[in-house]
């Protein structure tokens, strides 16, 4: 369906967006606990939040990617004036789309798990305030934003700033919601 270069760039996109999703989920769910005096993050909580971030990511990314690829196949069939458009999507190319979507979703889910666990693990190791973990996470989001800019062939600085702002806002939301 795509050249090998684009496939690698696409996989990078799933890695980056999975990491971003995990970090944003962790900030939203646990910022209230990290920033409240006397409360701490445990390794067990970090793993549970990672799992809570990772599994839904697999489902959402698979659904979105598979639907996108099947739609491309149906569009190609229409462009080729095939009488039964579903044949292209149900054949070998359809199975390839399913495999690619499955791998991409698993990559995104694993990265989401890692993106959620790492900042929480930092918070569990550093005694006292959770600010260092939040600052590191927001900084990482800036770097990942530059990666999104790269994969989208867009402004890397703009994406970096946007994700840092989003991380800060979701940390503030998590602080006020105090979900965990």
For residue range 126-172, list pLDDT tens digits in order. 776 678 888 888 998 999 999 889 888 899 999 999 999 999 999 99
- pTM here? 0.83
Residues 4-29, mean pLDDT to the nearest whole number: 81
Comparing 54-58, 113-117, 128-132, 173-177, the range with the smallest average pLDDT is 128-132
Q: pLDDT tens, 88-99?
A: 667 788 889 899
Between the CA atoms of 139, 142, 144 and 147, what dihedral angle is there, to the nearest 10 degrees?
-150
Q: What sections of the chain are H helices per DSSP? A: 4-35, 43-79, 85-90, 92-125, 131-151, 156-177
Question: What 3-state DSSP class applies to 48?
Answer: helix
Between the CA atoms of 4, 104, 108 and 150, what dihedral angle is there, to the nearest 10 degrees?
30
Tokens representing 107 are: 């990559």
Question: Counting beta carbons within 10 angstroms of the beta carbon of residue 3, is it exposed (0 to 12), middle (13 to 18) or buried (19 or more)?
Answer: exposed
DSSP structural state of residue 41: -
- Would you put residue 71 in left (φ > 0), alpha (ψ -120 to 50) or beta? alpha
C-alpha–C-alpha distance, residues 40 and 44, integer Å: 12
Neighbours of 59 (CB within 10 A): 11
């Amino acid at each position: 369906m795509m050249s090998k270069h684009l496939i690698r760039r696409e996989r990078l996109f799933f890695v980056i967006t999975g990491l971003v999703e995990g970090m944003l989920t962790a900030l939203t769910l646990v910022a209230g606990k990290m920033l409240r005096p006397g409360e701490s993050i445990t390794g067990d909580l970090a793993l549970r939040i990672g799992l809570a971030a990772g599994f839904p990511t697999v489902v959402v990314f698979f659904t979105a990617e598979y639907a996108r690829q099947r739609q491309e196949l149906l569009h190609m069939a229409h462009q080729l004036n095939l009488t039964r458009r579903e044949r292209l999507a149900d054949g070998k190319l359809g199975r390839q789309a399913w495999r690619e979507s499955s791998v991409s979703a698993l990559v995104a889910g694993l990265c989401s798990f890692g993106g959620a666990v790492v900042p929480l693990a930092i918070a569990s190791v550093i005694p006292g305030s959770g600010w260092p973990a939040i600052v590191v996470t927001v900084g990482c989001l800036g770097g990942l934003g530059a990666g999104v800019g790269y994969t989208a062939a867009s402004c890397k600085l703009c994406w970096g700033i946007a994700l840092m702002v989003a991380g800060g806002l979701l940390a503030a939301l998590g602080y006020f919601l105090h979900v965990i």
